[in-house]
Amino acid sequence: MNIKTGASLIFFSGSIVCAGVAQQAFFSQMQTHRIASADRIIWTQEGPGNSGMCDLVRYHPVLPDTAFLSPDMGGNYQTDNNGHSWFDARNYDGDSGFGRQREVWYSHSNTDVGLALGGSHLRVTTDRGQSWAIVLNCPWYELDSDGTDRSSWKSKVSAVTIDPGDHNVWYVGAGNHRHGQLWSSSMKEATAANPQGDSSEISGKIWKTVDGGTHWAEVSNGIDPAAQFCRIQVNPNNSQQIFAASNYGLYRSDNGGDSWINIGSGKLPNNTVISLDLYDDGNGSTVVYVIDQVRYFPSGSTTTNSGGVYRSIDLGETWQQINGNLYLDINRLGWIVGDGYYNYLAKWFETDKAVVQSLYPDKPVDALQPVQLLRVDPSAPDTVYIGLGDPQGLLASFGMGPLWKTSDGGGTWMMVTRGYGPAFANDAEFWSARGNPVNQNMVWNHEPFNQQWGSSYPQRTMRSFDVNSRGDVMLISGHCTLVSTNRAETFEQIDEFYTPAGNLVGRGNSNLPGESMKQDPRLRPGELYLGSGEHRLWKTTLDDMNGRVAMKQLPTMDTVSAIALHPNDTDTVFVTSYRQAHANEIWRSTDGGSTFSKWGDATAATYQMETRSLLIDPVNPQYFYFGIRRRAASDWDKEGGFYYSSDGGRTFAPRNIGLPANPRVNKIEWDPRDPTYQSMFIAVEGAAFDVPEASNGGLYHSVNRGQTWTEITIDPEVDGVNEVKIDQSGRIWITAGYRNSNTGGLWYSDDYGITWEKTFVSPLTECVDVSPFDSNLVVVTVGNLQKNPGLYLSEDRGRTWTKNNRSVSINWRIRDVEFSIHDPTTLWLACVGAGFFKGTYIPYQTVHFSDMQDLGDVAAAGAITQVGGSTIISASGSDLWNTADEGFFASQSWSGDCDIRVRVAEVESVNEWSKGGVMIRETQDADAANVAVIVRPDGRVSMQWRISAGAASSYVGTVGDSGSIKSVRLIRSGDRFSGYYSTDGFSWTLIAEQTVSMTADVFAGLAVTSHNDGQLCEAVFNNAVIQNPPSDRLTGRISGSNLVLQWDSTSIAENYTLYSCTNLAEAEWISVSNYPGVDASLTFSEKMDRSQRFFKVERN
């Protein structure tokens, strides 16, 4: 009697997503409809935390512990406990559309409503970030037929807000003037000659809706046609008054947007507004703060400046400059400040650094840092923070950073982010004179990746920060998320926890480029190596904590794309790279990863040659091999393909005779027929739109260590192979397809490439693996720009498939997936932009039927077989209908009430009325009384019954959408029979209830008919369950932000205990609380995060 909740949906456990449609229809549906994930594999993001640049952090204005985080690789996360843990805000069954966001804005008046703005698509949440939906038919869209924007990758809008008093009133501003995101903004290339930056495809427009996005009106009267907006805010004390900050002025409307006036004109010195915020004093007054663009001007042998931070206490009628002591004497600061000052001037004046050094040799004593971010502390009057948003060396500012704070309205400012203490100590005289502390006050995660030289100030500063309603500050600096709960006195990282041994455990917000994985049977169970982009090599450490895997970082080059262990010594580990520092090298460790050093040169890369599938010959370990998957344009003059070493990995050379031109080798597999390991297969990828030098690929074989290659003929539609896998039975599996291709999928051969069968269809099928414990278990992944990207599982050797993305935050960028070689229920996954995941496989339940027979006088005998987790029934028969049945029935004898359910993976389309499903019948006679819930080949579901022996049959239906996968369920309670179907495998829809008198002793099982007697119809079933029905039916629903659990108590005199667990495989049930039977319900007011949660209730 269990139910499961994940975010805002209620799921019943115990059965899985079901199909009543031939598998080919499933593949067709993959291209056109969103498919829901099953719970065959439960994934947990293991980390490491953050580990990449994040574009945006936004606190909820009312709920101080809720914050939204938008990393730059496409994942979006939310915390409801101020960073103690994070959950994925993306739809794991969605596509790549909900990537990096430009702005997120939550409502004051309805805490569940929020808006998220990408380059064009506007999304809305009505459940406080648990799910997001595209707002359709927005006026700036290039409308597609479904109301979305067919060119959503373009930057068309850059500001959004919600009226604090009405969650249905929204404003959206045009342009690409992204607040705080300078690296992708139209202001990125602003110069003295062009201070307003680049133009935008759409500008000069603001749109308003008063009904939550259903209808829109343009409200742009009085706005400069070139204006691009970075921030829009509604006066919390006057909903008719709106402020809009743009590169062509600060605008105010006093009539709900009907008209606008430029209130910065003639008042702000530059009137190019970079940031805006409002302070509500709680007594009806609003204070307006802005950053006016800092500009520099020649002044003899030095420079002067204008702009900075301004405040208005009369809604923009007058302005006060509050730069205070922000001005810096560059002569008193470390060399890197002066160097950065001249770099900035060179960009601003559009000349060389040497030129500005010559023209302006005198460094100013009153230099003003250009700042991009401003936020008022909502809990403290006169407390304002400003920051530098220049993380990638854009030369848009200079000096130390990233965050300044004033507590007196701008009279004095303090540098409150001191990420490297020695840099401040070097300039202690300067800082002490200002009363500014010099101690380091930031505790970083494992590797913040701040750019720093010697003891200078870090130069990779900050991408975003925000302040919540109680004054906490959260910011992104380098590759680290930090929070201060003491008003910026100190900052602590909130990306990871540490075990007592000092190993890392992620919190769920990884932005890591997961690249590669390496298991070895000689390592301890659960121990493996994990290669990453930008954050080196990791090794799991087995001291897990908080339900997540612990790991430690190893000292390799920045990016690790391939890993190998020496055949004779597991402490000897080799790694190769392909980008950043040491991209061309191979490194070695002889102490299990504790230390590494350069071993040799793997490639001749100057920028990027992507190494994959590093192998060492187990018999003759002087032979090393790897493939080159792709090359950067600057390395096209170097040869790619298959690489070979005969000196133990010191030097490598290509061996491409017989391969196509410019081969892209992604995977190498030993030929198991050759004990000398001289023979191997390689997967050569096909052409791709973003790799212009590539030609067609395929599957190739060599018997001489790659000296020559022979192509294996597969199928005319296969023009490239992405991966190859040979399982323990000798079956070869290959994946194919690429972005913008129309063909692709998974093929297999049982005769080493002589004949092939296609068993999975998707235009871009990438990874493949087979369980070493059960060759019936196969996984594949589907890549980007597909309707249903992610991971698919077959439990019957490729015959039927289910999608299994639950909790995989970036489902379209899975780099690798592997079954554990130690544990038959564990999988591992590497994901670009979300780090590493551990999956727990929950096997199908298998019913062993005691009675298996044909019903009626059929023309062809039926049969039943079981393959892995599937039950396959072949049946003839004219129909399960009328006064007597013909078909096949596999059953168990049962006494009393009964609950039978099953996933119908496929019903072969012998006839449109072919049927397969669950049935309870009084006897095994053809004319027996019975009740059934059946699925037809097109996926439609019906409930049918015969009330007595020999009576005519009746039915209710047909229900359910055609083409989708179905589960069916039948519950007997006395003479009452209830039929259900499910499209997600958890939440059940009642078809009908029918009274049919039967004896206590019945037969319950699976029934199939072909509806074409003499021709066999094959139906595939998974996860058949026959059990006693729950005495109290546990149900769940979402009410606002709360989860409401209810159950039908049969006796008010009894008490109940409610239990919860997060992993059905481990089934560690924890008592939630006891409840009296008279009040058989519970409302959770706590916010449900995205981790799986299961519930059950038991009588005491």
Report the C-alpha dihedral over residues 753, 757, 763, 768, rounded to 10 degrees: -70
The residue among 981, 979, 901 whose CA lies nearest residue 939 is 981
Whether the per-residue pLDDT at 383 is higher than 90: the answer is: yes
pLDDT for 76: 94
Pairing of strands 884-885, 880-881: antiparallel
Question: 672: cis peptide before it, omega within 30°?
Answer: no
Q: What is the CATH number of the domain that holds 956?
A: 2.60.120.200
Q: Is 434 inside any structural domain?
A: no
Domain count across the chain: 1
Which residues, at least 6 apart from 891, have a Cβ–Cβ distance to it below 8 Å? 849, 850, 851, 852, 919, 921, 924, 1003, 1004, 1005, 1006
pLDDT for 316: 97
Q: Report the residue count for the chain.
A: 1100
pLDDT for 694: 56
Cα–Cα distance, 996 to 974 (Å, whole number): 9
Whether the per-residue pLDDT at 1064 is higher than 60: the answer is: no
The residue among 889, 942, 932 whose CA lies nearest residue 912 is 942
Helix, strand or coil, per DSSP, at residue 919: strand
pLDDT for 880: 97
**What percentage of residues in the chain have a pLDDT greater than 90?**
76
> Worst-scoring range by mean pLDDT, 462-476, 630-644, 929-943, 1050-1064?
1050-1064
Amino acid, res. 187: M
Structure tokens that stand for 133 in this block: 């939906």
Alpha-helix runs per DSSP H in 553-605: none
Whether the per-residue pLDDT at 901 is higher than 50: the answer is: yes
Angle at 8 between CA 5 and CA 13, to 5 degrees: 25
**The residue to which tokens 């096209």 are assigned:** 636
Structure tokens that stand for 952 in this block: 């005519």
Q: What is the mean pLDDT of residues 800-810?
A: 91
pLDDT for 1065: 52
The residue among 1008, 1017, 990 whose CA lies nearest residue 919 is 1008
pLDDT for 798: 92
Pairing of strands 157-162, 133-134: unpaired
Element of type H or E holding 32? helix 23-32
pLDDT for 1082: 58
pLDDT for 696: 85
Confidence tier at 1059 by pLDDT (50, 70, 90): confident
What tens digit of pLDDT does each residue of 562-604 get? 999 999 999 999 999 998 899 999 999 999 999 999 999 999 9
Whether the per-residue pLDDT at 266 is higher than 60: the answer is: yes
> Worst-scoring range by mean pLDDT, 366-380, 522-536, 797-811?
797-811
Angle at 1055 between CA 1054 and CA 1056, to 5 degrees: 125
The alpha carbon of residue 1024 and the mean position of all alpha carbons in its chain are separated, in whole angstroms, by: 32
Which residues, at least 6 apart from 581, have a Cβ–Cβ distance to it below 8 Å? 557, 558
Whether the per-residue pLDDT at 1084 is higher than 70: the answer is: no
pLDDT for 982: 87
| Extended strands (E) in 764-882 | 765-770, 778-782, 790-794, 802-803, 814-819, 826-831, 835-841, 851-855, 863-867, 870-875, 880-881
Q: What is the mean pLDDT of residues 387-411?
A: 86
Helix, strand or coil, per DSSP, at residue 381: coil
Which residues, at least 6 apart from 710, have a Cβ–Cβ distance to it below 8 Å? 658, 700, 701, 702
pLDDT for 6: 29
Sign of dihedral through CA atoms 724, 725, 731, 737?
A: negative
Cα–Cα distance, 80 to 815 (Å, whole number): 30
φ and ψ at 428, to 5 degrees?
Answer: -60, -35
Neighbours of 892 (CB within 10 A): 17
Pairing of strands 103-106, 261-262: unpaired
Q: Is 1097 inside any structural domain?
A: no
Whether the per-residue pLDDT at 341 is higher than 70: the answer is: yes
pLDDT for 1011: 97
Q: What is the mean pLDDT of residues 334-362?
A: 96
pLDDT for 7: 25
CB 789 within 8 Å of CB 804: no
pLDDT for 1098: 65
Structure tokens that stand for 495 in this block: 């990306």
CB 683 within 8 Å of CB 665: yes
Q: What is the mean pLDDT of residues 374-385?
A: 97
Q: Is 941 inside any structural domain?
A: yes
CB 225 within 8 Å of CB 204: yes
Q: Is 901 inside any structural domain?
A: yes
Q: What is the mean pLDDT of residues 237-251?
A: 98
Residue 81: exposed, middle, or buried by beta-carbon count in 10 A (0-12, 13-18, 19+)? Answer: middle
Confidence tier at 974 by pLDDT (50, 70, 90): very high
Q: What is the mean pLDDT of residues 852-857?
A: 96
Whether the per-residue pLDDT at 937 is higher than 80: the answer is: yes
3-state helix, strand, coil in the chain (%, to 5): 5, 40, 55
CA distances from 609 to 576, 642, 657, 723 (A): 10, 12, 20, 18
Confidence tier at 1034 by pLDDT (50, 70, 90): low
Residue 891 half-sphere exposure toward CB, CA atoms < 13 A: 26
Cα–Cα distance, 975 to 294 (Å, whole number): 81
Structure tokens that stand for 573 in this block: 């580990």
Cα–Cα distance, 141 to 124 (Å, whole number): 16
The residue among 468, 625, 619, 469 whose CA lies nearest residue 57 is 468
Whether the per-residue pLDDT at 561 is higher than 60: the answer is: yes
Q: Is 635 inside any structural domain?
A: no
Structure tokens that stand for 751 in this block: 């005769």
What tens digit of pLDDT does each residue of 697-750 get? 999 999 999 999 999 999 989 999 999 999 999 999 999 998 777 789 999 999
Residue 270: exposed, middle, or buried by beta-carbon count in 10 A (0-12, 13-18, 19+)? Answer: middle
Whether the per-residue pLDDT at 391 is higher than 60: the answer is: no
**The residue to which tokens 């000798």 are assigned:** 730
How many helices, marked H, and strands, marked E, lie in the chain? 5, 83
Q: What is the mean pLDDT of residues 841-868?
A: 89
Structure tokens that stand for 476 in this block: 């992104």
Confidence tier at 11 by pLDDT (50, 70, 90): very low
Whether the per-residue pLDDT at 876 is higher than 50: the answer is: yes
CB 265 within 8 Å of CB 251: no
Question: 378: cis peptide before it, omega within 30°?
Answer: no
pLDDT for 1032: 54
Structure tokens that stand for 597 in this block: 């050093």
Q: Is 530 inside any structural domain?
A: no
Confidence tier at 870 by pLDDT (50, 70, 90): confident
Mean pLDDT, rounded, of the chain: 90
Confidence tier at 13 by pLDDT (50, 70, 90): very low
Cα–Cα distance, 337 to 343 (Å, whole number): 10
The alpha carbon of residue 837 and the mean position of all alpha carbons in its chain are separated, in whole angstroms, by: 11
DSSP 8-state code for residue 36: P
Structural domain range at position 873: 15-38+845-1027
Q: Is 920 inside any structural domain?
A: yes
